[in-house]
Structure 1
Amino acid sequence: MDVHGAGRGPEAPWKSMSAEELENQYSPSRWVVRLGAEEALRTHSQIGIEATRRARATGRSLLHVPYGDAKGETLDIYLPPEAPEALPIFVFVHGGYWQCGSKDESAFMVEPLTAQGVAVVTVAYDIAPRGNLDRMVDQVVRSTAFVQKRYPCNEGIYLCGHSAGAQLAAMMLLTDWTKLGVMPNLKGFFLVSGVYDLEPILCTSQNAPLHLTLEDAQRNSPQLLTALTQPADPTCQVLVIVGQHDSPEFQRQSREFYQVLPAPSLRPETLRRGGWKASFEELRNVDHFEIIENLTQKDDVLTQIILKTIFREF
């Protein structure tokens, strides 16, 4: 299959790149300047493991809670010291190119958020080769529905995904929740350093364990589909976020995804039929991994963006 000649048309910038350049653009660790590529990946995992260990040791947590029947369909719930029935819930979907990572090394943000009264949920899903992308999307859908059913009086569910997790979280913009018999109280999306058009992945080594076809990639590309959707709640915010030191392709993907989100109408009589309340942020002086690692810090820029969004302080 000639993937360079298929899909979105010849205008897509990645289609003029060589195989070597595409591999480079879609290998985030190669763009880290503070560490070598392997050390960056190792450090990211270590920071996540340590943050998760602290969260489990020092806070109130419910671990490995099943949201489905399969072995890997579990999530961790971290509760604030004072946890009323009605509280905001931050749901995190980890990255790892759909083939590595886990909820057991993803609790970066637990301490800063729970200290401010926000519950945090980290979601497990079946990474490749055990799971395929359609299954992963379905698992994130069902985990989100589970959170709503378990905490029906929540003050808002805020979905956050990093890298591959941002693609999975963005697919929730397209979900027909009526099929699950529940409408999650979605108030915000934080889509961090994501991939929203999966077609370029077909041309890289990242696809080896995924076995994506062109049809798979198009079916799971929010970039191609989200412009057709409308929010159930016009106050729901979508924040598309990327690091200054992400690769140019990751930066392009984030900007173009933000641009396809239909904007709400400014006319009061049509506001409820408007589009997504979206914004774009490029965070200075962070790479693909720091942007999430720094969520362990209460004064981090992204931590503060998350808290201000949840508590509507803008």
Structure 2
Amino acid sequence: MLQWEIMDKDELERQYSPRQWSHRMSGDEVINAHVTSLKAGTETACNITQTLLDVPYGQGEDEKLDVYMPCITSAECPLLIYFHGGYWQFLSKAESGFMAVPLVSRGVAVVAVDYSIAPKGNMDLMVSQVRKSVVSIIQQYSHIRCPSCGHGPLYRLVTVQYHSSDQREIALHNSPIQLLQQLKVSSATSEIVVAVAQNDSPEFRRQSEDYFNALKSLGMKVTFEDVPNTDHFNIMENFVDSDYYLTQLLLKMMGKD
């Protein structure tokens, strides 16, 4: 039996509530500070980049993306695709341009993707939209590298409380760790980084370790980064800093070190 299966409802909820594990401030404060930080970073990105906003990647109302491009671009300019977190319930592409702040100066474009968050969107819809966005971006920029980055270390979604067997089944078939056997990517060419915050919950950290080990067992080129002095929120907020370890790692992966 897995550890999460023997937890009572209150403990399970505590383990999967990232705001309760920050050492910097209270739960409400860390959420408010997180949103403020992301908005400020995105505003800065809008001021220093060329932007293409609300670019459709599908027919749905929420199927749009924002592109942040260096002021001077080249045909080989790499492009990073970013998928925001928010526990499927909040945040959007409007707060997701912050990663462009240190990247555009190194000749990297950033694409922030929107999808239909709950309650408007269900998990099947969200996953289909994410897949659709990637296909659209790769079709348009097939000549350059398009790595992706996302926020939220839930790789086994059935650990979250669901109210019906249908919801549980949806969570199961959309769990990243369940989908690994379907990967068609060459382990020789794909590089994956699983990063977790030092002050994330034990369950979030365990899920990240399990996912890393599952990828490694398949022969994928994967590394595990345990980022010191961070929680679930500033592990992403710090991407506005060009000297941040994960920023430097990202640039290295794109050949921009």
Q: Decide: shared fold, TM above 0.5.
A: yes
How far, CA to CA, are the matches of 1:263 and 1:158 in structure 2? 22
Residue in 1 that maps onto 2:230: 286
Residue in 1 that maps onto 2:81: 91
Question: Where in structure 2 are the equivalents of 1:60-75 lying within 5 Å?
Answer: 60-75=50-65
Deviation at 1:250, TM superposition (A): 0.3
Change (3 A) 1:15 1:263: closer
Residue in 1 that maps onto 2:249: 305
Residue in 2 that maps onto 1:160: 149
Query: Tell me, what secondary structure is at the counterpart of 2:185?
Result: coil
Query: Tell me, what secondary structure is at the counterpart of 1:45?
Result: helix
Change (3 A) 1:55 1:236: same
Does residue 245 of structure 1 match 2:199? Answer: yes
Does residue 261 of structure 1 match 2:205? Answer: no
How far, CA to CA, are the matches of 1:56 and 1:296 in structure 2? 13
Deviation at 1:58, TM superposition (A): 2.5
Change (3 A) 1:301 1:231: same
How far, CA to CA, are the matches of 2:10 and 2:51 in structure 1? 45
> Which runs of 5 or more residues in structure 2 are unaligned?
none
Change (3 A) 1:212 1:109: farther
TM-score normalised according to structure 1 size: 0.78
Residue in 2 that maps onto 1:27: 17
Deviation at 1:149, TM superposition (A): 1.7
Question: Where in structure 2 are the equivalents of 1:1-314 lying within 5 Å?
Answer: 10=1, 12-154=2-144, 156-163=145-152, 194-202=153-161, 213-232=167-186, 234-263=188-217, 275-311=219-255
**8 Å CA contact 1:227, 1:260 repeated in 2:** no
Change (3 A) 1:55 1:147: same
TM-score normalised according to structure 2 size: 0.95
Residue in 2 that maps onto 1:183: none
Percent pairwise identity: 39
Query: Tell me, what secondary structure is at the counterpart of 1:120?
Result: strand
Query: Tell me, what secondary structure is at the counterpart of 2:251?
Result: helix
Deviation at 1:230, TM superposition (A): 4.2
Give the aligned residue type for 2:107.
Answer: G
> Which runs of 5 or more residues in structure 1 are unaligned?
1-9, 164-193, 265-274
Query: Tell me, what secondary structure is at the counterpart of 1:280?
Result: strand
Question: Whose relative contact order is higher, 1 or 2, with alpha carbons under 8 Å and at least 6 apart?
Answer: 2
Give the aligned residue type for 1:33.
Answer: H
Change (3 A) 1:211 1:99: farther
Root-mean-square deviation over aligned CA pairs: 1.8
Give the aligned residue type for 2:138.
Answer: Q
How far, CA to CA, are the matches of 1:83 and 1:211 in structure 2? 50
Deviation at 1:86, TM superposition (A): 1.9
Change (3 A) 1:149 1:225: closer
Higher deviation after alignment, 72-81 or 232-241? 232-241
How far, CA to CA, are the matches of 1:247 and 1:61 in structure 2? 36
Deviation at 1:73, TM superposition (A): 0.6
Give the aligned residue type for 1:255.
Answer: E
How far, CA to CA, are the matches of 2:195 and 2:239 in structure 1? 14
Deviation at 1:100, TM superposition (A): 0.7
How far, CA to CA, are the matches of 1:86 and 1:309 in structure 2? 15
Moved over 3 A (4+): none
Deviation at 1:224, TM superposition (A): 2.1
Q: Deviations over 1:195-246 (max 9, x none)?
A: 00011112xxxx57x9962211110111123145341462110111101000
Q: Deviations over 1:25-65 (max 9, x none)?
A: 00000001111100100010011111111211231110110
